Amino acid sequence: MSAEHPTLPPVRLRADAELARDALAAPLLAHAVRLARWAGPDTRVDAGGELVDEQLPEAVELLGLTEDEDGELWAGDAWRLAVDTGLVDVQDGTEGTGDEDGDTAGRAAPGENLALVTGGSPQDVLALWLDGFDAVFGDAVAPVIDDLDAIVGEDGEIDIEALDWDPEAEAEFLEGVLGNLYLLTVSDAGPGDGPVPLPALAASMVVPDDMGEPTDDVLEQVSDAMMRLDEQFRLLEPIGLVDYQPVDEALMAEEGEEPAPPVDDEDVTRYGMVRLTPLGLYGVRARMMEAGVDAPAVGDLADKGADALLDGIAGYPEAAAREETAGWLSGRDALGAARELLRAARGTDAGSPLRRLHCQQTLSLVGP
């Protein structure tokens, strides 16, 4: 048996059917589905697959965003997600008609993945949502461009070096933040389902563990990280990953002014509060597992043998271990389960005392 145990506590996930319903209810994906159903022979797109300007007002009206000053922005985001996830199929305009500017416009139609929304399994819907999460994650780590003219070269192409942007570092930072938020959520010592203050989350990525009183330079780094995370969580919320209370705009520093301190003990909620949704827990765990991180979930061991059960729960908190063993026993013959547990508990290796302890605790759930 392996002596290694998970470094992350096990997460309690909702059933796939519940998570799939949450995924389809996420505002951005719901809007993307509506636009995919609307797409047809008269839907024109530019060379990049974006809706042409003349189509945007109709898309905004379809989504019920006519009263929202950012309606065209939200509609554009939803359309891009529909294209990125295969809900919409974009055809180039080589045989299309030209638009008013003389450029060749392409056409759009419902994509193959649209059928998964109503005809797919919960796992199909969740796979579709994960594709959407990946696309939004990419948007969240993209550079913020305040002055486009300053980075466009003479050839009309964007000068990537002028952006001062390291895509790998940006992605690694956000991955780390989501990992810390996940750990705080699943840890017995964390807030559980409660929100986490944005300053604490930013500090977890910036302030060294062995630092006592943070220096002014470190506090400035925390403030910068908070502002970047504020932008990123605003993007991640519509896909259903997080519930987010943004930073109070009154705290934003005007140009030439000193920024507000990153922590105000009187009302820390003004500096942003964030929590992973149940769907967000599922999404972050899936992303971590894809990266090779051992992120167990309660119920993972239900169809494993007794040896895998006793070895696996060795690193679990007491409540999670009891829930896991109860699920393992469910549906099994009591006598057969007891015999299998006793066989698995044997041995003289370093892990055997703990296995026998968990065996005894599990047998107490078997009954007479």
- What pTM did the predictor assign? 0.85
Integer Cα distance of 123 and 139 in angstroms: 24
Integer Cα distance of 273 and 239 in angstroms: 17
Share of the chain above pLDDT 70, in %: 82
pLDDT in tens, 36-50: 999 988 899 988 889
Which pLDDT score is estimated for 368? 75
Which contiguous run of DSSP H or E holds residue 50? none
- Token pair for 101: 């500017």
pLDDT, mean over the chain: 86
Could you give the 3-state DSSP secondary structure of residue 317?
Answer: coil
Rg (CA), the chain: 25
For residues 113 and 86, the answer to whether their CB atoms sit within 8 Å is: yes
Average pLDDT (279-299) is: 95
* More confidently predicted of 127 and 205: 127
Could you give the 3-state DSSP secondary structure of residue 275?
Answer: strand
Which pLDDT score is estimated for 193? 73
Q: Phi/psi zone of residue 96: left (φ > 0), alpha (ψ -120 to 50 degrees), beta?
A: beta
pLDDT in tens, 138-163: 999 987 665 555 455 555 565 556 56
For residues 287 and 178, the answer to whether their CB atoms sit within 8 Å is: yes
**pLDDT(291) > 50:** yes
Share of the chain above pLDDT 90, in %: 62
**pLDDT(249) > 90:** no
| CA dihedral sign of residues 85, 89, 93, 94 | positive
For residues 274 and 200, the answer to whether their CB atoms sit within 8 Å is: no
